[in-house]
């Protein structure tokens, strides 16, 4: 399921996001830069917060400011307008932004597989996605939710038209816990983990096991203009972020501590459980062009995009050979 691209509060827009463009720093001083997250901080961002806390960004010459999302602005537009240097985008949002004429480029994946899933309450009636025919499935109202349900039910031999989809917003946990729906779309690393921690018996059907390719869900993104004008900054940001995720793989406890220190409101047990679930998918590998082509085709087939993405323009791909 695609999370809504998280948005900066208007006060940040009025002030200007820190670090964009020239900052008047002394020669040799770290370059100020800004990053807009896709969602409120959580375990999937642990590599970013580890890179900041452990000094990897400063070692690379970047003084990074991380902005949590607000409610009313559009991260792709902030990138395109030069109001932020970098953003974390859902891969579907990156494709949609490019289709709308925004020249944005994915620099590296944060997570190596889709996070989207259909989460069903355990019972005799729903043992696989095709059993959702005639059942009530909660969705947020985002088109990507419909794509996930359609993909899973179809791939399992069922008829998506026979699924009763109801809009519940981002209330999958409470709706499933209260038995208001038979299943709901959600992220297996977030809603799925939360329900299991609450003791709600569920079955989690990951979308890449039912029709979708193993696309990378979240992407570190910049504008093509930033890449052209400041290649050194972009390389430094990517290198330091990869170092942060490698550190998270090797030292998950310390990376978790770095995340919690940056946002003390987070609950350690919740984030620790999420990080344990995510660790196998946080390895900072480069993009796989064949997977990206399959993802693009899948998005077109399920109505998220009108046409396939030109992946060599949309992603910073590894050299051939």
State percent of the chain over pLDDT 90: 84
Fold match between 10-113+215-314 and 116-209?
Answer: yes
| 50 vs 131: CA distance, rounded Å | 42
pLDDT, residue 283, reads: 87
Domain residue spans in the chain?
Answer: 10-113+215-314, 116-209
Which structure tokens are listed for 124? 């005799």
pLDDT tens for each residue of 260-289: 999 999 999 999 999 999 999 998 899 999
pTM for the model: 0.89
**Confidence at residue 9, expressed as pLDDT on a 0 to 100 scale:** 38
Query: Which CATH class, in words, describes the domain spanning 116-209?
Result: alpha beta
Q: What is the pLDDT of residue 321?
A: 59
Q: In whole angstroms, what separates CA 225 from the centre of its chain?
A: 23
Give the model confidence (pLDDT) of 226-272 as tens digits.
Answer: 999 999 999 999 999 999 999 999 999 999 999 999 999 999 999 99
What are the tens digits of pLDDT across the range 24-63?
A: 445 567 899 999 999 999 999 999 999 999 999 999 999 9
Nearest by Cα to 129 from 147, 151, 146: 151
Residues 221 and 88: beta-carbon distance below 8 Å: yes
Cα–Cα distance for residue pair 265/225, rounded to 1 Å: 36
Residue 250, class by beta-carbon neighbours within 10 Å (0-12 exposed, 13-18 middle, 19+ buried)? exposed
Q: Is residue 117 within 8 Å of 186, Cβ to Cβ?
A: yes
pLDDT at 68: 86
Q: What pLDDT does residue 318 have?
A: 84
Q: What's the CATH number of domain 10-113+215-314, 3.30.70.360, 3.50.30.30, 3.90.105.10, 3.40.190.10?
A: 3.40.190.10
Return the ∠ at Cα 69 (arms to 232 and 252), rounded to 5°.
70
Residue in the structure block whose two tokens are 């917003």: 169
Q: Average of pLDDT values for 115-123?
A: 94
Nearest Cα neighbor of 315 from 124, 134, 137, 91 is: 91
* Average pLDDT score, the chain: 90
Q: What is the mean pLDDT of residues 84-88?
A: 97
């Amino acid at each position: 399921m695609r999370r809504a691209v998280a948005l900066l509060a208007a006060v940040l827009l009025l002030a200007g996001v820190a670090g964009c463009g020239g900052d008047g720093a002394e020669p040799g001083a770290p370059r100020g830069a800004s990053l807009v997250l896709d969602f409120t901080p959580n375990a999937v961002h642990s590599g970013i917060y580890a890179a900041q806390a452990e000094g990897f960004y400063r070692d690379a010459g970047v003084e990074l400011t991380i902005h949590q999302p607000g409610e009313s602005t559009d991260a792709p537009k902030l990138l395109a307008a030069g109001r932020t240097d970098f953003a974390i985008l859902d891969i579907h949002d990156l494709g949609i932004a490019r289709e709308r004429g925004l020249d944005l480029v994915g620099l590296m994946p944060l997570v190596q597989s889709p996070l989207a899933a259909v989460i069903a309450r355990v019972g005799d009636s729903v043992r696989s996605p095709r059993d959702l025919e005639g059942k009530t499935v909660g969705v947020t109202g985002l088109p990507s939710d419909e794509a996930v349900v359609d993909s899973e039910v179809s791939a399992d031999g069922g008829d998506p038209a026979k699924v009763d989809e109801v809009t519940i917003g981002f209330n999958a946990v409470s709706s499933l816990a209260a038995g208001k729906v038979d299943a709901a779309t959600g992220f297996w690393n977030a809603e799925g983990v939360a329900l299991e921690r609450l003791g709600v018996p569920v079955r989690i059907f990951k979308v890449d096991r039912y029709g979708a390719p193993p696309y990378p869900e979240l992407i570190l993104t910049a504008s093509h203009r930033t890449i052209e004008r400041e290649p050194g900054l972009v390389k430094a940001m990517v290198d330091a972020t990869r170092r942060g995720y490698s550190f998270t793989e090797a030292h998950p406890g310390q990376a978790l501590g770095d995340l919690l220190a940056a946002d003390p409101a987070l609950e350690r047990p919740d984030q620790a459980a999420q990080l344990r679930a995510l660790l196998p998918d946080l390895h900072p590998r480069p993009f796989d062009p064949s997977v990206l082509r399959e993802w693009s085709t899948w998005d077109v087939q399920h109505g998220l995009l009108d046409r396939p993405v030109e992946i060599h323009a949309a992603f910073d791909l590894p050299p051939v050979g």
